Amino acid sequence: MSQWISSNLGYPRIGANREWKKALESFWAGKVSESDFLAELKGIRLGHLRLQQEKGINLIPVGDFSLYDHVLDTSTMFGIVPKRYGYEGGEVSLDTYYAMARGNDQAAASEMTKWFNTNYHYIVPELADANPSLTVNRPLHAYLEAKQELGIEGKPVLLGLYTFLKLSKGYANAELPSLVERFLPLYCEVLSELQQAGVQWVQIDEPSLVTDIPAEDWKQIERIYEELNKVAPELKIILQTYFEAVGDYEKVVSLPVQGIGLDLVHGGEANLEHLREYGFPEDKVLAAGLIDGRNIWRSDLTEHTQVIKELGKFVSPDRLIIQPSSSLLHTPVSLAKEDALLPVLRNSLAFAEEKLDEIQLLVNIAAEDENVIQEALAENRKALSELKTSVFRSNGTVREAVNNLDESSFVRKSDFSTRHAAQQKRFHLPILPTTTIGSFPQTAEVRKARRQWRNGQLDNQQYEAFVDEQTKEWIDIQEELGLDVLVHGEFERTDMVEFFGEKLGGFAFTAGGWVQSYGSRCVKPPIIFGDVVYQEPMTLRETVYAQSLTKKPVKGMLTGPVTILNWSFVRTDIPRSEVAYQIGLALREEVEALESAGIEMIQVDEPALREGLPLKKADHESYLTDSVKAFKLSTSSVNDTTQIHTHMCYCEFHDVIDSIEAMDADVISLETSRSHGELIENFKTQTYDKGIGLGVYDIHSPRVPSVEEMKEVVVSALDVLDPELFWINPDCGLKTRGKEETVAALRNMVAAAGEARNEI
């Protein structure tokens, strides 16, 4: 027996073949009955538990599995169901559960937002008029099921009350104490039932403890854990934090719980510093998150054994748990399908399944035969050093180019007003020019042609001819509609990151590296494993072709460096900012290629800029500085007459407005409709004096907005923004829309622009 305990915090739900996704979608489509669906999901759930059991994990999480989202599970467990779903108390039905997640004919879906700084999205609990009650003890059911079916002594996982309230909406922070008052008895009930059932360990997730905690909240946090400890003194509660270092270390480790889980990867240095400075309480267990739960790289086990040795200074071996840094929900499931990857890369990867092996290996160091461990460590070292020394990892030209960057690499030749004048002269655009964000409908026909090309039924020439046909059709449509600045339509792209990654050196694509993004929706992020190298023009052919069809300007369309970075799995051997610069340099070459070919408006999209914001305010500035620089690196080498656009799909921008300005784009387009006028309101107090387009209609719905409606948005925007600088465009790209509704909506948009011009 080893002396340390191995543990896991959560396992991906989706299954190695995305069977979970498929099951949900066929249930929603009415293809399987509720009981068959639930039976299938039970099979998937038990399969994941069995796997962890076979791997030898001591503390297997139960209750982390979900039918959609774990925050929604927590809401429904406490009967937090907004009135519009017609809920009348008691256990929440599957229909109501999915209505909250996805909406139905009677009621809109609940809001969905990002889970901390990950790409997972949760359903936001709505606490206005909440009447909480315990409808079902989910963790208890999960515990009993694992015990009865598999003989597993599981560790129930539950979302902590503080984090649950912090993630909810519909109340002011002053009401926090009264909400704690109402929910705490329910949490007590859950825990005392777990204790009665003989549960030993419980994992209470409180990732909000790594954010900036308002001082007045501490009283509530202390109260919650004092109460829980009182009602279930025999339970070993692990208070689990992740995604960053805890800010108030001394307070967190003083809470009356039996174990503290710290992330030793993300914010790892800061957490280790805390341990060195303040030590660790003698009466607690340290759950050490050593294996990266959010990335896909094999761990450096030799380094980890050193860290474990150091941890030995703070806790005795029987009080040390070895575990991932967070739930493995954020990693792909298994490497089994990845034989097509370069061997040197494949050997350096660990997905969820392989991470369980790493945990076991670390735990075994104490007990196993020296030789076995030495062999495994040597193999681990060899694989990592092969990647480190591989030709992909370091490209001399790229390294030199990054090293040679200086202040001048990040600034345009002239200031905005000079450029603006030069561009006005060059383009002769009318006031309130109209444009779109880039993509046009990706119809079944477009998707089919791409599929046929991918599996060889269409050769390159045939596929390009097809893309050109679509482009021509839409250039004609845009001309006929009377738009002022046209786009080629992005028919050659599925995904705005994958498209560029496939054409740049340093990227790899997995066969099955899916992770859950929201509900049944999964994404397959590219892997940036080597230096990013520009190989050949990526967008030139399609853009130049589109421009050849019209006298109006066609905007070139690129995905920005920060977005490419934030939507990929990124190497960790060099700073992220350096990877961002490498991408920035590659895009700069593309921008220059477009400009030389006569494309004089170029849009560089950064929809993911804001979502990369670190969890602690203190870290915002350096992230934003690096991001702005990467963007400017890609866009600043052009002539004054070349107009740089950017686009961001969000309306909450007030906290990043300075950075958005600093990007120095000539024109920016922002999403507006989901802010319900708030964005426009913001400009009363915040000035923005470069070109700006606020989306005049919501592209998330097939509804065709009227001329009046859109004109109203324009008129109210012109109350606060300079008409000389204002652009008219939809909220975002139109690829998910149908053709007819798109043409109708754009026709109304152009008419609205015309009317607004007449009134100025």
**Residues assigned a catalytic role:** 700
Query: Considering only residues 260, 365, 554, 732, which one is a binding residue for ligand GLN as defined by CB under 6 A?
Result: 732
> What tokens appear for 755 in the block?
């009317």
Residue (238 or 732) nearer to Zn ion, CB: 732
CA dist 337 and 107 (Å) reads: 41
Query: Considering only residues 437, 604, 628, 680, which one is a binding residue for ligand GLN as defined by CB under 6 A?
Result: 437
- The DSSP output letter for 110 is P
CA dist 156 and 152 (Å) reads: 11
Reported residue count of the chain is 760
CA dist 381 and 180 (Å) reads: 49
Q: How far apart are the first and last CA of the chain?
A: 81
Q: What is the smallest separation between the CB atom of 731 and Zn ion, expressed in angstroms?
A: 7
Residue 34 is inside which H or E element, if any? helix 34-55
Residue 199 is inside which H or E element, if any? none
CA dist 624 and 663 (Å) reads: 10
Judged by beta carbon distances under 5 to 8 A according to partner kind, the member of ligand GLN, Zn ion, none in contact with residue 73 is none
Residue ranges in 160-219 that form contacts with ligand GLN under rule CB under 6 A: none
Residue (207 or 705) nearer to Zn ion, CB: 705
> What tokens appear for 497 in the block?
């990151």
Q: What is the smallest separation between the CB atom of 666 and ligand GLN, expressed in angstroms?
A: 17
Angle in degrees, CA 286, 291, 295, rounded to 5: 140
> What tokens appear for 495 in the block?
């995904």
Cβ atoms of 471 and 449 closer than 8 Å: no
Binding flags for ligand GLN, 645-674, as an x/- string (CB under 6 A): --x-x-------------------------
Cβ atoms of 501 and 526 closer than 8 Å: yes
SS3 track for 459-510: CHHHHHHHHHHHHHHHHHHHHHHCCCCECCECCCCCCCCHHHHCCCEEEECC
Confirm whether residue 21 is marked as ligand binding: yes
| Residue of 240, 49, 257 whose CA lies nearest to 153 | 49
Residue (705 or 730) nearer to Zn ion, CB: 730
> What tokens appear for 258 in the block?
């039996």
Residue ranges in 494-533 that form contacts with ligand GLN under rule CB under 6 A: 496
Give, to the nearest 10 degrees, the angle between helix 138-150 and helix 176-196: 20
Residue (27 or 727) nearer to Zn ion, CB: 727
355 binds ligand GLN (CB under 6 A): no
CA dist 618 and 713 (Å) reads: 36
488 binds ligand GLN (CB under 6 A): no
Residue (237 or 649) nearer to Zn ion, CB: 649
446 binds ligand GLN (CB under 6 A): no
CA dist 234 and 200 (Å) reads: 8
Confirm whether residue 218 is marked as ligand binding: no
Confirm whether residue 611 is marked as ligand binding: yes
In order of 290, 402, 484, 720, the CA distances from 723 in angstroms are 54, 40, 16, 9
Which residues pair with residue 311 across a beta bridge? none
Residue (483 or 732) nearer to ligand GLN, CB: 732
> What tokens appear for 643 in the block?
């107009």
Judged by beta carbon distances under 5 to 8 A according to partner kind, the member of ligand GLN, Zn ion, none in contact with residue 496 is ligand GLN
Confirm whether residue 490 is marked as ligand binding: yes
Q: Are strands 121-123 and 521-523 parallel, antiparallel or unpaired?
A: unpaired
Residue (293 or 433) nearer to ligand GLN, CB: 433
> What tokens appear for 633 in the block?
């690196």
Residue (439 or 634) nearer to ligand GLN, CB: 439
Binding flags for ligand GLN, 587-626, as an x/- string (CB under 6 A): ------------------x-x-------------------
- Which residue's Cβ has the minimum distance to ligand GLN? 733
Query: Considering only residues 438, 513, 525, 693, which one is a binding residue for ligand GLN as defined by CB under 6 A?
Result: 438
Span of 36-44, 46-54, 434-442, 686-694 interacting with ligand GLN by CB under 6 A: 434-442
> What tokens appear for 517 in the block?
């993004």
732 binds Zn ion (CB under 5 A): yes
CA dist 9 and 62 (Å) reads: 9
Span of 367-375, 567-575, 579-587, 642-650 interacting with Zn ion by CB under 5 A: 642-650
Confirm whether residue 605 is marked as ligand binding: yes
For Zn ion (CB under 5 A), the number of binding residues is 3
Query: Considering only residues 203, 271, 439, 637, which one is a binding residue for ligand GLN as defined by CB under 6 A?
Result: 439
CA dist 16 and 27 (Å) reads: 19
Q: What is the smallest separation between the CB atom of 732 and ligand GLN, expressed in angstroms?
A: 5
AA letter at 291: I
398 binds ligand GLN (CB under 6 A): no
CA dist 231 and 193 (Å) reads: 10
Cβ atoms of 539 and 556 closer than 8 Å: yes
Residue (220 or 729) nearer to ligand GLN, CB: 729
Which residues pair with residue 670 across a beta bridge? 648, 694
Judged by beta carbon distances under 5 to 8 A according to partner kind, the member of Zn ion, ligand GLN, none in contact with residue 352 is none
Q: What is the smallest separation between the CB atom of 446 and Zn ion, expressed in angstroms?
A: 19
> What tokens appear for 312 in the block?
């030995």
Residue (446 or 557) nearer to ligand GLN, CB: 557
67 binds ligand GLN (CB under 6 A): no
AA letter at 184: L
Query: Considering only residues 125, 293, 584, 733, which one is a binding residue for ligand GLN as defined by CB under 6 A?
Result: 733
468 binds ligand GLN (CB under 6 A): no
Binding flags for Zn ion, 644-663, as an x/- string (CB under 5 A): -----x--------------
Indicate the SS3 state at residue 598.
coil
Residue ranges in 549-568 that form contacts with ligand GLN under rule CB under 6 A: 557
Residue 532 is inside which H or E element, if any? strand 527-533
Q: What is the smallest separation between the CB atom of 651 and ligand GLN, expressed in angstroms?
A: 13
489 binds ligand GLN (CB under 6 A): no
DSSP 227-263: HHHHH-TTSEEEEE--SS--SSHHHHHHSS-SEEEEE
Q: What is the smallest separation between the CB atom of 521 and ligand GLN, expressed in angstroms?
A: 15
CA dist 24 and 592 (Å) reads: 46
Q: What is the smallest separation between the CB atom of 355 and ligand GLN, expressed in angstroms?
A: 31
Q: Are strands 527-533 and 505-508 parallel, antiparallel or unpaired?
A: antiparallel
Span of 270-278, 305-313, 432-440, 584-592 interacting with ligand GLN by CB under 6 A: 432-440
Span of 238-246, 400-408, 436-444, 447-455 interacting with ligand GLN by CB under 6 A: 436-444
| Residue of 575, 583, 622 whose CA lies nearest to 606 | 583
Judged by beta carbon distances under 5 to 8 A according to partner kind, the member of Zn ion, ligand GLN, none in contact with residue 235 is none
670 binds Zn ion (CB under 5 A): no
- The DSSP output letter for 80 is -
Residue (327 or 442) nearer to ligand GLN, CB: 442
Residue ranges in 599-618 that form contacts with Zn ion under rule CB under 5 A: 607
Judged by beta carbon distances under 5 to 8 A according to partner kind, the member of Zn ion, ligand GLN, none in contact with residue 191 is none
Cα Rg of the chain (Å, integer): 27
Q: What is the smallest separation between the CB atom of 652 and Zn ion, expressed in angstroms?
A: 14
Annotated binding-site residue numbers for Zn(2+): 647, 649, 671, 732
Annotated binding-site residue numbers: 18-21, 114, 437-439, 490, 521-522, 567, 605, 611, 647, 649, 671, 732
Annotated binding-site residue numbers for 5-methyltetrahydropteroyltri-L-glutamate: 18-21, 114, 521-522, 567, 611
Sites of contact with Zn ion (CB under 5 A): 607, 649, 732
Sites of contact with ligand GLN (CB under 6 A): 437-439, 490, 496, 557, 605, 607, 647, 649, 732-733, 735
Annotated binding-site residue numbers for L-homocysteine: 437-439, 490, 605
